[in-house]
Chain A
Amino acid sequence: MELFLALTVGALFAAGLYCLMLHSVVRLALGLVLLGSASNLLLFTVNGLQRGFAPLVPEGQEALTRPFADPLPQAFILTAIVINFGLLALLLVLVHRAAQETGTDDTRALRTELKDSQ
C-alpha cells in the first residue's frame, strides 16, 4: 500500500505546486489545499501503515498492546489540518477583499492595482 500512497502523494504535490505557479490567487488557494492534503498523506505514509487498529486503549486496560497505528503522526496531522484551515480562511478572505477593491484576482494585475491605490 505504501507504494501506491507514495505515488498518490507525488501526484498531489505536483497538482498543488502547479496551482501555485498560476497567476490566479484563487487557484493559488486551491493549490494550498492540495499541498496540505499531500503533506498530511506524506506524514501518514512515512512511518508505515497499519490497517485498522486505531490507537485507542480498550476500556478498563492500562496500556495498549501491539498492533496499533502509530498515534504520533496522527497527532501531527490533526494539528496540520486545523492550521491549514486557519491559513486558508485568512487567505480566502484576503483574496476576496483584494478582488473587491481591484476587480481582479490576477497576481500581476493585483500588484499594480494595489500600488496605485496607495
Chain B
Amino acid sequence: MACWAPVMALCIAFFVPFIVAALAVPITRLFKSWAGWVLALCPAGLAVWFGAQVPAGVRGEVPSLTLSWMPDLGIDFALRLDGLSLLMALLITGLGTLVVIYAGRYLVHHEVLGRFYGWLLLFMAGMLGIVLADNTLLLFICWEVTTFSSFILIGFEHKEDAARESAQRALLITALGGQSLLVGLLLLGDLVGTLSISGTIAAADTVRGSPRYLAILLLVLGGAFTKSAQMPFHTWLPGAMTAPTPVSAYLHSATMVKAGVFLLARLSPVLGGTPSWQNILTVVGTVTMVLGALLALGHTDLKLVLAYATVSVLGALVMLLGQGTPAAIQAMVTFLTAHALYKGTLFLVAGSVDHETGTRDVTRLGGLRKHLPMTAAAAAAAALSMMGLPPLFGFVGKELIYEACLKGPGGWPLAVGAMVGFGGMVAAALRVGVQPFAGRTFRAAKPESEVHEAPPSMWVGPALLAAAGLVLGLVPWAIQPLLAMAAVDIGGSQAGGLELTLWHGVTPALGLSAGSLVLGGGLFALRQPVLKGLRALNLSSHGPEHFYQASLSGLLKLSSWMTRVLQTGSLHQYIVVTIATFGGLLALAVVLRLRDWPRGVSMDVLPYEVVVLVGILVSAVLAVVSRSALTSILALGALGLAEALLYVFFGAPDLAMTQVVVQTLTVILFALVFARFPVQPHEHRFRWWTAALPLAVGGLVTWTLLHVAAVPTHTRLADFYAAQSVPGGKGLNIVNVILVDFRALDTLGETAVLATSGLGVYLLFRTRSRRKKRQV
C-alpha cells in the first residue's frame, strides 16, 4: 500500500482549489493584471504533483484515504487516485492552468474579474472532487458544485437576457439530471450496502443480477446524459456558449461535459457489460455523434460550431463506453485526451479571434494568418488533429475508434456511423480552424489595419495545447502508460494492452479515415447549400428544443393558473379550501385504515357528567345559531365554564382554573369590542348547506377519535414524569413541573408569543383611526 505522504498530499490537493477559490477576489485585487499568472500557480502546482504521481501509478500504487464523515449515513470522505482519476486530474489541472492565464488577459477589463476567478476555481475544485472521490455521495456533492458553478459562469454576463436564459436552461436540465443521479446512486448504495465506489465495484455481480439493475442504470444515465449533453438533453450546451470563452473552452468542452462520460466510465465495471447498457449507450451515443456533427454545419458562429462538434464527440465517447470491448475502452481514453487538447485550443483560438476582430461569425472572417500568426498556427495544428490527420494525436485516437467499431459488436454499421460523424467534424474543423485564417475575405467590425496578434498570455495556452497534440501524435508511447492505466480502471486488466502507434499500416480503419476526410471535404466545399438546407429545416425549433420550451412555458402557465385559482384573496375561499383539505385527508385515513366500527371505547357515564355535556352542546348550538351577537358571547362563556367542570371531574384542576380565568377574560374582551363596535355584527341566518361540510368534518373527527382513544396508551412518559417530578423538578404538581422545568423552553416560547400578541393589541389600540383624523 501507499505510504502516508501521497495520501496527505491527495487530501491537500482536494482542498487547495476550494481555498484558493475563496481567496480569488482578494488575490485579484492585490495583483491586478498579474492575477491570472498568480492564480494559475494553483492548478499548475497541482498538475505538477499529479504528473509526479504517474510513475507510482504505473507501478500499481493507488493512494487512497477514508475519513469518517457522517458514519451513520455511510458517507465517508474518501479519495482514491487510480489511473482514470490521474488522467482526468491531469487534464483538469493542466487545462485549468492555461485557461486561468488566458482569462487573465481575455477579461482583463472586466469589473468583477476576481469573482470570475473564484467561480472558475470553485468549478475546478468540484471537478477534481468528482474524479478523486471514492464515495458516491461525495462524488454527487462535487457534481452539484460543478453544476452550480457552471450555472453562474454561463450567466456571468447576467445583464444580458440570453445569458440568463441559457444559464437557467443549463441549470434546469443538469440539476434535474443530478436529482436522477442522486436517486440512482442511493438505490445502488442501498443495494450493495456501501456508498464506497471501490466497494461497489467489488460487488458488481450483485448489482447486475438485481431486479433493481435497470432502474439504477436508467437513473444514473439520466444524470450522465444530461451532464454530457447527449441527445435529447443536449440543448443546454450550445446555449452555454453565452459564457465567456475561457469558460466554454474549459467547462463546456474539455472538462465538465466529460463528467458524465467519466461517471459512466467509473461505474462501467459495475453497470456495464449488460445488453441494456450496451444498447442504450451505443444508440444514444451514435445518434448524438451523427446529429451533433450535422448540426455543427448549420451554424456560422465559431463557438456554436465548436459546441455542436463537442456534442458529437461526447456522443462518440458514450458510444465507445457502450461497446465496452477492451479496444473500445482504449479508444475512449485516447480520444478523450486528444479531444481535450484540440477542442480546448480551438475554443481559445475562437476567443482570441473574437477579442481581436470583434466578431465570431466565420463568414465575415478570413486571411487572419497574417495578423495573428501564432494563433493561426495553433488553430491549424488543432484543426488537423480534429480532422484526424497524421501526425497529430487526433489521428491516433480516430484510428483506434474505427478499429474498435470494426472489431466490436457494432461492426461495420457502427463504423460507418462513426465515419459520418467524423465527416461532419472534419467539415467543422475546416470551418473553425482554417477558414478564418485562410483566404482574404475580411468583413469584421474592426478595420483590418487594427487587427493584430493577441497578447502572449492569450496565445501561449492554445499554442501549448496544440503543441501537445503534435508531440503526442509523434511520440504516442509517451502517454501510453497513463492511458493504459485509465483503460484498466474502466475495462479491467484485459483493456491494459494498449499500444499507441501513429502508423497502423493500410487497414480498413485507414480507409474509413479517408472516407471521412472526403465526406468532410465535400461538406465543407458545399457549405453554402448545406448551411441553407439545415437552416431551412430549422432543426433547433423542433424536437428537444421545442419540448424544452413547451414544458417551460407550460410550467409557468400551470403555476400562474394555480395562483389564480388558489390565491384569490377571498378569505372565505381560503377557509373552505383548508377545511375541505383537512376533511379530505381525514376521510382518506378513515377509508384506508379505519373502516371498522370502533370498539373498546368506554361508554360508562355518570349523571352529572351528562348534564355538563348537554350544557356544552346546548351552548355550542346557541353560539352558532343565535342571531344576536350578545347571546352568542354569553353562550361561549357558558361553554367555557362547562368545559372547566369537565377538567375538574377528570383530574385536571390546573386546567379548570386556567380555563375559568381565560374564558372570563375572553367574554370580557368580546363584550368590550362589541361595546365600542360602530356597527352591528353581520346579520346571519343558519343555513344547512353551509353546515354540510363542517358537520361532515366533525363526524370524521369523532370517528377518528373513537378509534384512537380505543388504542391502549403508552404510559412510559406519564410514569417518567410521575417518578421524576419531585427528585428532578422539586415540585409536587406534575403539570406545573412539566411546564416550568422539563419543557421550560416551550413555555419561554409561549411567553414570547403572548408578549408579542400583547404588544400588538396595545399598538392597535394606540394608533388613531384615519377616519377620526379626517374628521379633525
Kindly state the separation between the CA atoms of A64 and B609 in the bound complex, as whole angstroms: 27
Q: Which of B143-151, B474-482, B699-707 contacts A (4 or more CB under 8 A)?
A: B699-707
Given A1-B602, A17-B693, A34-B623, does the pair A9, B701 have CB atoms closer than 8 Å? yes
For window 716-741 of B, CB contacts with A under 8 Å fall at 717-718, 721-723, 725-727, 732-735, 738-739
A111 in contact with B570 (CB, 8 Å): yes
For window 624-656 of B, CB contacts with A under 8 Å fall at 624, 629, 632-633, 636, 639-640, 643, 646-647, 649-655
Given A8-B616, A101-B771, does the pair A3, B601 have CB atoms closer than 8 Å? yes
B702 in contact with A6 (CB, 8 Å): yes
Taking the nearest CB of chain B, how far is it from the CB of A109, in angstroms? 9
Kindly state the separation between the CA atoms of A95 and B601 in the bound complex, as whole angstroms: 42
Cβ-based interface call for B591 (8 A): no
Residue in contact with B764 in the complex, picked from A2, A50, A97, CB distance below 8 Å: A97
Kindly report which residue of chain A lies nearest to residue B710, judged by CB atoms.
A2
Residue in contact with A61 in the complex, picked from B666, B699, B726, CB distance below 8 Å: B726
Kindly state the separation between the CA atoms of A82 and B647 in the bound complex, as whole angstroms: 16
For window 22-41 of A, CB contacts with B under 8 Å fall at 22-24, 26-27, 29-30, 33-34, 37-38, 40-41
Q: Please indicate the chain B residues that have their CB under 8 angstroms from the CB of A71 in the complex.
A: 718, 721-722, 734-735, 738
Q: Please indicate the chain A residues that have their CB under 8 angstroms from the CB of B703 in the complex.
A: 10
Q: Please indicate the chain B residues that have their CB under 8 angstroms from the CB of A79 in the complex.
A: 739, 746-747, 750
Kindly state the separation between the CA atoms of A10 and B718 in the bound complex, as whole angstroms: 27
Given A85-B665, A90-B760, does the pair A107, B738 have CB atoms closer than 8 Å? no
Kindly state the separation between the CA atoms of A64 and B575 in the bound complex, as whole angstroms: 45
Q: Map CB proximity to A onto B739-764 as digits: 1 under 8 Å, 0 otherwise.
A: 10001001100100110011011001
Q: Please indicate the chain B residues that have their CB under 8 angstroms from the CB of A13 in the complex.
A: 694, 697-698, 701
Q: Please indicate the chain A residues that have their CB under 8 angstroms from the CB of B658 in the complex.
A: 78, 81-82
Q: Please indicate the chain B residues that have their CB under 8 angstroms from the CB of A34 in the complex.
A: 620, 623-624, 636, 639
Taking the nearest CB of chain B, how far is it from the CB of A44, in angstroms? 7
Residue in contact with A64 in the complex, picked from B725, B753, B770, CB distance below 8 Å: B725
Kindly state the separation between the CA atoms of A38 and B702 in the bound complex, as whole angstroms: 11
For window 601-618 of B, CB contacts with A under 8 Å fall at 601-605, 609-610, 613, 616-617
Q: Please indicate the chain B residues that have their CB under 8 angstroms from the CB of A33 in the complex.
A: 636, 640, 666
For window 92-118 of A, CB contacts with B under 8 Å fall at 92-97, 99-101, 103-108, 111, 117
Kindly state the separation between the CA atoms of A52 and B604 in the bound complex, as whole angstroms: 15
Kindly report which residue of chain B lies nearest to residue A33, judged by CB atoms.
B636
B761 in contact with A89 (CB, 8 Å): yes
Kindly state the separation between the CA atoms of A113 and B353 in the bound complex, as whole angstroms: 64
Given A17-B693, A33-B636, A96-B676, does the pair A52, B616 have CB atoms closer than 8 Å? no
- Given A1-B603, A21-B579, A69-B651, 14 more pairs with CB closer than 8 A: A30-B633, A30-B636, A41-B643, A42-B705, A54-B651, A55-B735, A64-B722, A74-B654, A78-B655, A79-B739, A81-B655, A93-B760, A99-B677, A105-B677
A-B CB contact pairs (8 Å), 21 listed: A6-B705, A6-B706, A18-B694, A21-B693, A22-B682, A26-B681, A27-B681, A33-B636, A45-B709, A52-B649, A55-B651, A55-B722, A56-B733, A74-B652, A81-B662, A85-B665, A86-B758, A88-B669, A90-B757, A93-B764, A97-B769
B residues sitting closer than 8 Å to A (CB atoms) are 569-572, 575-576, 579, 601-605, 609-610, 613, 616-617, 620-621, 623-624, 629, 632-633, 636, 639-640, 643, 646-647, 649-655, 658-659, 662, 665-666, 669-670, 673-674, 676-679, 681-682, 684, 690-691, 693-695, 697-699, 701-703, 705-706, 708-709, 713, 715, 717-718, 721-723, 725-727, 732-735, 738-739, 743, 746-747, 750, 753-754, 757-758, 760-761, 764-765, 767, 769-771
A residues sitting closer than 8 Å to B (CB atoms) are 1-24, 26-27, 29-30, 33-34, 37-38, 40-42, 44-59, 61-65, 68-72, 74-75, 77-79, 81-90, 92-97, 99-101, 103-108, 111, 117
